[in-house]
Structure 1
Amino acid sequence: MPVGAMPSTSTSTSMSASASVPASAMPSMDGMGAMTSGDGLSATRNGYTLSSATTRLPAAKAFGYRFTIVGPDRRPITGFAVDQTKRLHFYAIRSDLTGFQHVHPTMAADGTWTAPLAALSAGTWRLVATFTPDSGSGKDTDFVLSRTVTVPGKAVDTALPAASTRTTVDGYTVTLTGDLTAGMVHPLTVTVARGGTPVTDLQPYLDSYAHLTAFHQGDGAFAHLHPTATVTAGHGGPTLSFHAELTRPGDWRLFLQFQTAGTLHTAAVTVHVS
């Protein structure tokens, strides 16, 4: 089904057909060629655990969330492969899919990571770590693990915006093109414009010209939509291509991060997957 379309309605936006491949017909791979393990709904997978003693975070206050990645030998691991210029990516997302943060923690010699989170609003948050061990039984496997935490106070949920093919942020218009079906690997095209003019001055960000992640409405499953090409020149745009594998039907909230003139922009848009 075309990006942004709902099953019982039609859209006036013309969407090009996209080739797709059943996810079961090919291994799930990340942008570096590693096997992907998990949808981010568990703290433990294949003997690896996202471990933290913290279950509550302070409201309206920046906080350094401390955690370790414990291996099958029950000891914190310290060796991680580099993926998109980082050894570990860390995300915070509220249960209503608002408040998205994507940060890059620092690791101490003993394997303890500290994620610098900006102030969080009251409610339940899922904290997601993605990483690839560089040795052991999990070598070359891209793990996606998470824990949930509570921020005290009166939580007020925000309704998820309707599915769409377009969104705007900081004066930029982001348009999505592609057909998305659950359990299939699809190409997804993103174009960026400003004032009706195609943007061609996208700066490198995490070894690409944009970073795209998604969370499923309902269970909060995580997906990283991998770019099909890395940076080859100083500037990029207006068209960006991704491999999209969204495992569940329903609505997903996509977060596209791109950089221009030294400023990082985060565009959010809801897409419907049939």
Structure 2
Amino acid sequence: MNDQFPVSTLRLALVVAGLVLALIAGFGIGRLNPHPSSVAGTATTAGTDHAHAAGTPAHEHAEGAMEVGGLAVTAAGHTLVPLDGTFTAGRADEFRFQIQEAGQRPVTRFAIVHDKPMHLIVVRRDLTGYQHLHPTMAADGTWSVPLTLPEPGSWRAYADFATVTPDGVQTPVTLGVDLVVPGAYTPRELPPATRTATVDRFTVDFQGDPRIGVYAPLAFRVRVGDSTPTLERYLGAYGHLVVLREGDLGYLHVHPEPELAGQAMMFRLTMPGPGRYRFYLDFQVAGEVYTAEYTVTMP
């Protein structure tokens, strides 16, 4: 024996020191990336950035494929239960539904994500007729919203939300269900791929190259002739980008960076795989919301 520590003891000390440093670093990272949360009745506020399901806290993204939502009526222990699903073309009806958990119990605690506890996206299966709606909830957990489906066909409704447990744990979920409008239905072909959209008096261009499995920057700029209108925050952000995949109607809801960059809305998006997609960009000018639409093809 000598007066020096045995090699095994020295190794153990180094491992313990490394674990302590890792815990300290992890605590520091968590402090640098807070996500404010406050319960008020049935709702909580959550920070949101980039591409994710509604309710996902602020976070860093790793490289990898983005998982689409809205493919199932049941996910993460929650079920979308429509109380009516057949509509008359062109007639204003009320769409009523519940989000139920085990035992068919209606959920009544939801997070407020981008100013609303529920985002309802409705589109026909040929990706026409896009609507972004915000239902209201009754005390028994029944959601309702006026809904007009202008043409016959099969439509898809996406309930995009996050539930909240009594101890504040949030579960972001996107569920999808089909709605039916009886009548003769001729699907429309998707418009050709383009980087420019015209809506009302606005021309909206986007720059950047979407990539599969890699987060790529996309910049959307709104113009009126040679001038740039003043963009306003809509639902807490300068823009909202919904991405739907042709065929299975896989769903993404993407939020931009908190501030404009040179008067452009900046998004970071990873595409989930090859195929044709429809982009729907909601933005607000002078208190009115507009939607620019694009077809994007991923080889």
Q: What TM-score do you get using the length of structure 1 for normalisation?
A: 0.81
Matched, 1:191 2:227: no
Task: Point out where structure 1 has 5 or more consecutive residues left out of the alignment.
Answer: 1-26
Residues in 2 aligned to 1:98 and 1:112: alpha-carbon distance in whole angstroms = 27
Matched, 1:212 2:237: no
What is the alpha-carbon distance in structure 1 between the residues aligned to residue 67 and residue 74 of structure 2?
11
2:56–2:172 CA contact under 8 A, matched in 1: no
Q: How far apart are residue 87 of structure 1 and its match?
A: 0.3
Q: Report deviation, 1:72.
A: 3.2
Structure 2 CA distance for partners of 1:164 and 1:58, relative to 1, 3 Å: same
Corresponding position of 2:251: 222
Q: Which moved more, 1:152-161 or 1:132-141?
A: 132-141
Distance 1:93 1:61 in 2: 16
Asked which structure has the greater RCO (Cα within 8 Å, sep 6+), the reply is: 1
Cα 1:258/1:223, change in 2 over 3 Å? same
Q: Which digits, 9 at most, give the CA deviation of each residue in 1:118-165, with x for residues without a partner?
A: 233100000000000111799423211010011011112111001111
- Shift of residue 91 of structure 1? 0.9
2:83, 2:53 → 1: CA distance?
Answer: 29
Alignment of 1:99 onto 2:140: no
| Residues 62-84 of structure 1: CA deviation (Å, up to 9, x unaligned) | 11111000123531110001100
- Deviation of the 1:94 alpha carbon: 0.2
**How big is the alpha-carbon RMSD for the aligned residues of Structure 1 and Structure 2?**
2.5
- Contact 1:205 1:259 survives alignment (8 Å): yes
Give 2:87's match in structure 1, choosing from 32, 57, 66. 57
Looking at structure 2, the residues matched to 138 and 37 of structure 1 have their Cα atoms a distance apart, in angstroms, of 25
> What corresponds to 2:99 in structure 1?
69
Overall identity of the aligned pairs, in %: 36
Partner amino acid, structure 1, of 2:106: P
Alpha-carbon shift at residue 259 of structure 1 (Å): 1.3
Distance (Å, rounded) in 2 between the aligned partners of 1:59 and 1:85: 31
Task: Check conservation: 2:80, 2:176, Cα contact below 8 A.
Answer: yes
1-structure distance, mates of 2:228, 2:188: 32
Note the C-alpha offset of 1:245.
2.9
Task: State the Cα deviation string for residues 222-262 of structure 1 (Å, max 9, x = none).
Answer: 1111212169xxxx973001121331311111111111112
Whichever structure has more helix as a proportion of its residues is 2
Q: Distance in 2 between matches of 1:161 and 1:57?
A: 27
Asked whether 1:253 is paired with 2:278, we answer yes
TM-score w.r.t. the length of structure 2 is 0.75
User: Residues 66 and 37 from structure 1, CA distance in 2 versus in 1: closer, same or farther, beyond 3 angstroms?
Assistant: farther
- Change in Cα spacing, 1:191 to 1:133, as seen in structure 2 (3 Å) is same
Tell me whether 160-169 or 54-63 shows the greater mean CA deviation: 54-63
Question: Number of residues paired by the alignment?
Answer: 243
What secondary structure is seen at the aligned counterpart in 2 of 1:219?
coil
Alpha carbons 1:193, 1:238 under 8 Å: kept: no
Amino acid in the other structure paired with 1:61: R
Q: Cα 1:237–1:52, aligned 2, differ >3 Å: closer, same or farther?
A: farther
**Structure 1 residues 152, 115: CA separation in 2 closer, same or farther (over 3 Å shift)?**
same
Q: Which residue of 2 aligns with 1:8?
A: none
Counterpart position of 2:183? 153
Counterpart mapping for 1:1-274 below 5 A: 29-30=52-53, 33-34=56-57, 39-135=69-165, 139-199=169-229, 201-229=230-258, 238-274=263-299
Q: CA deviation at 1:100?
A: 0.4
Distance in 2, matches of 1:79 and 1:206, equals 20
Larger Rg: 2
**Counterpart residue type for residue 143 of structure 1:** V
Distance of 1:100 and 1:137 partners within structure 2:
36
Letter in 1 for 2:136: T
Gaps of 5+ in 2: 1-49, 60-65
- Between the aligned partners of 1:193 and 1:177, the Cα distance in structure 2 is 14
Using the alignment, how far apart are the partners of 2:138 and 2:291 within structure 1?
29
Deviations 1:184-237 (A, max 9, x none): 3222211111102233x1122100111111111111111111212169xxxx97
